[in-house]
Structures are given as structure tokens and as C-alpha cells.
Amino acid sequence: MPFSHHSHSGQFCPGHAKDSLEDVIQTAISKKMQVFCLTEHMPRHKEDFYPEEIKCGETEESHAENEAAYWAEAVRLREKYASQIDIIIGFEIDWIRPTSRELIERSLSRFPFEFFIGSVHHMHTVPIDYDRPMYEQARELAGGTDERLFEDYFDAQFDMLQQLRPLVVGHFDLIRLKSDDMERSFTAWPGVWGKILRNLDLIASYGGMLELNSAALRKGMSEPYPKAEICKEFMARGGRFCLSDDSHGVDQVALNFRPVLEFLGRAGISTLHYLQLKSGSSPSPDPRFPKTQIAAISVEELGKLAFWS
């Protein structure tokens, strides 16, 4: 430990990340990490391809082939490095519209994935974290204001949570990244804040985990995803947190984990949770993933681990 529940490689996320999956894993080992989750993106319909995917001539068939190659390589690398690091194989979903569920279930049926990250990267089918022009396009479709787009985002997230109940909820408040004020308090907008609290209630009710995602810090924010005000509300509901770097290459593996450790103290978080593969007879928290379990570590114990040296 520490651990990361969210990572990407240039090998299976070309144009968006860099470096081979093996290089990423070797970097995690060199940093004395003990649990590293692999979460390449799921295939999407061609109408939802990013500009670089269109430029590279990718197809829905190539996306499916990429997923198969990812699964095979992830299994090979887990076996190769089993004595040095615990690797859990999952994927990150893209909830774009209700029919996204069909693609997600197709991935789950093709390979015995061990979990997935529930993420929303699109609003009104337009990416909201790719660049500012696309964010503005999505905002116009929502009614022209950040407040309206934020409301729509948390409604879409609620739909995703209801439909899929992911064990790990990815970058809960990603919507703030390209907005006019990424540091804005959500409490300033009662309608938005009410939807956030509703979503936290649901996640806590089924035992999901919010990832504390350090990528927000490398993107210029003062706090990880989600903000402290959200973390405090989730703790009040008995919610669980896990740690992620959302790395897109070797230079981002475990990046900014020390500032996140300091953030835990400011936010009042005393325990973190992490995924592990079943070693005993305890039931899995999610029947879709019978080998996957959730373990806990105190922040005090976490801070004593060799990783920090």
C-alpha cells in the first residue's frame, strides 16, 4: 500500500494516455505499491469516439479487439508480477445515455472482470472533461449556465448509480473541471447540492466507495475529487473511500498522493478502503464479482507504510 483503483496506459488507451501497461505496473512496484487496479476504458459506439480516436481511424471492431487484448495482457502481467504486487483487473465505464448499459453488460459478459469504475464523462452526449469548447457546448445544451449543467450531471450520475451500483464511483465531481470556477462550493446552488446529497445517500445505501482521485490536483485544483464538503457528507452517511491516482502513464503513478494524505486529515477521514481478491470464504459485496472483496486500513497505519519513504 498505498493503492490505486483507477489507471490507464498508452498501450490500451492510445492518444489519451502513454506508456505500456507493463511499464505502468513496474512503476507501481518500484514505488512500493501493493494494490494496483487496471481500469482501461470500455468500448464505445462510434458516434461517441473522441477526436483523436476518429483521427486514428479507430472503429467499434478495433475497440472490441483492444478490450480483448487488454484482458489477455492484464492476466499475463498479473501472473508475472504476482509475488510483487496485487493486481485487480477492471474497466472504467462511460455512462453516456441509458443504452450505455448494453455496452457495459457486453463487456461484463465477455470477460470475468473483477470490478468496474462508474464514471460520467459526457453530458447530453458531449464530453465535459476533454476541453473547454466541448464543455461549453454541453453547457449550452443544458440551458446555458454551469448551474444547469451541474444539475444535469448529477441527475445523469444518479441514473448510472441506480442502474449499475458500481463498487467504485469515479471522480464524483468531475463536472467542476472545465467550469467557470473549479473551486466553487456546491452548497452555493441548493438545487445542485440536493442532488449531490441524494446521490451520496444511494452510494452509501449499497456500500459503494467514492474514490479520492488525485488527478484533480495535477489539473490545478486545490482538492482531489471529490471536494472536502462532499467527503464530509459522505462520512456522515457511513460512506467508504478508496484511493486512486487516475494515472495515464508512468509519470502519474501515485502522483500527488502525499497531498491527498494531508487532505484526509483536513477532511476528517480516518479510514480508507481498498479492493482485494478473495482468499477466504467471506462473501463478496457484489455478486457480479464473486472474487472481489473490500478491506480497510486506518489512515494512521497507511501513513507508516514504506511507500512514503
Greatest Cα pair distance in the chain: 53
pLDDT at 277: 94
Burial-class residue 197 by CB neighbours within 10 Å (0-12, 13-18, 19+).
Answer: middle
Residue 177 has pLDDT above 80, yes or no: yes
Alpha-carbon distance of 157 to 174, in angstroms, equals 11
Average pLDDT in the 212-235 region? Answer: 97
- Per-residue model confidence as pLDDT tens digits over 247-291: 999 999 999 999 999 999 999 999 999 999 987 667 889 999 999
What gap in Å lies between CA 256 and CA 253, rounded to an integer? 9
Nearest partner of 219 among 146, 151, 153, 131, judged by Cα = 131
Domain 90-294: which CATH number of 3.40.50.300, 3.40.640.10, 3.40.50.620, 3.20.20.140: 3.20.20.140
Question: What is the predicted pLDDT for the residue at 100?
Answer: 93
- As a whole number of angstroms, the distance between CA 229 and CA 261 comes to 16
Instruction: Answer for the pair 71, 114: CB distance below 8 angstroms, yes or no.
Output: no
Whether residue 53 has pLDDT greater than 90: no
Residues 8-26, mean pLDDT to the nearest whole number: 91
What is the model's pLDDT at position 81?
98
Domain boundary assignment for the chain: 90-294
Whole-structure pTM value: 0.96
Distance from C-alpha of 70 to C-alpha of 63, rounded to nearest angstrom: 10
pLDDT for 280 equals 67
